[in-house]
Amino acid sequence: MNNFQRHRRLRTSAQMRRLIRETTVSINDFILPVFVQENLTGKEEITAMPGVYHYGLDEFRRLVVEIAEKNIPGIILFGLPAEKDEQSSSAYHPKGIVQEAIRAAKMEVPELLVMTDVCLCQYNPAGHCGFIRNGKIVNDESLQLIAQTALSHAEAGADVVAPSDMMDGRVQAIRSLLDENGFQDTAILSYAVKYASAFYGPFREAAHSAPSFGDRKTYQMDPANVREAMREAESDLREGADMLMVKPALSYLDVTAKLRSSTQVPIATYNVSAEYSMVKAAAHQGWIDERATVMEMFTSFKRAGADFILSYFALSAADWLKEE
């Protein structure tokens, strides 16, 4: 008599595998990042990210309807202004591109969950996430501008503001200003654990936000560090964050898993631009199956502990899941 276990008994058919599957991916897991560009008519494809576009408000309205029809829960907005200045004033202007896109989205699909990326990098010539003084990114002077940006998004109708700048104290600054102005119900999704990653490469083209000097390593995290990630997350929770994000997703599954084991709040992970573009490039060459690869990646994000996923594949995933 054989005394080994026959684990394959539970893999004998698709229905058996479906029955005992431990981790599932559904349409409810997705947020679609969207780039809206001021003074653009229609849409323009981003060269480094095939199938991803800069949207003018006219085409953005049509996209919002499509997103709702596919039953994707929400979007996160990134704005590309027509003009930049040292004060990043377009970031918090009441008629800035993100503010107008929020209003447009809520007009077309009121129930759509609208998140906004809160940062300054697209709005100043230096391309950095904070205020620049004497060639340095200064922390405390940046907080007022970042909080004002978040408030302007809330005033326009955003459901969730998501600070991505990695300045110390920005969650507290945002929460205080929102509450002071009657926006106690506006949630904060903090990019709590955002690494200084090489996987952001294509995003620089997408957001027109490449730094004009230096890099972002003095404020984004060292990819080698995990304990530091836990400290960042703990700080943001104390300051008032409602949800936390790990960015990037694919190379930081261990960080997501460790964060999941230490907190009960919802956790997001961002399937970033290079993770998207690498799959697209390999699939274009016929080297991989795009659908199978992407769904396996999504499963790994969920298995690591992510509650939801920001991904440029969200529209495609909606179609794939519907077919299943």
Catalytic residues: 194, 247
CA angle 138–139–142, rounded 5-degree value: 90
Tokens of 139: 């922390």
Cα–Cα distance measured from residue 3 to residue 14, given in angstroms and rounded to the nearest whole number: 27
Which of these, 294, 293, 221, lies nearest to 259 by C-alpha position? 221
CB–CB of 186/128 below 8 Å?
Answer: no
Cβ neighbour number for residue 155 with a 10 Å cutoff: 17
A 10 A CB-CB count for 171 gives 27
Residues near 287 by Cβ (< 8 Å), separated by ≥ 6? none
For the chain, the distance separating the N- and C-terminal CA atoms, rounded to the nearest angstrom, is 41
Dihedral sign for Cα 19, 24, 28, 34, please. negative
Secondary structure string (H, E, C) spanning 98-143: HHHHHHHHHHHCCCCEEEEEECCCCCCCCCCCCEEECCEEECHHHH
> CB count, 10 Å around CB of 62?
13
Q: Distances in Å between the alpha carbon of 5 and those of 2, 12, 13, 14, 42?
A: 8, 15, 18, 21, 59
- Asked whether 216 and 223 are in contact (CB, 8 A), the reply is no
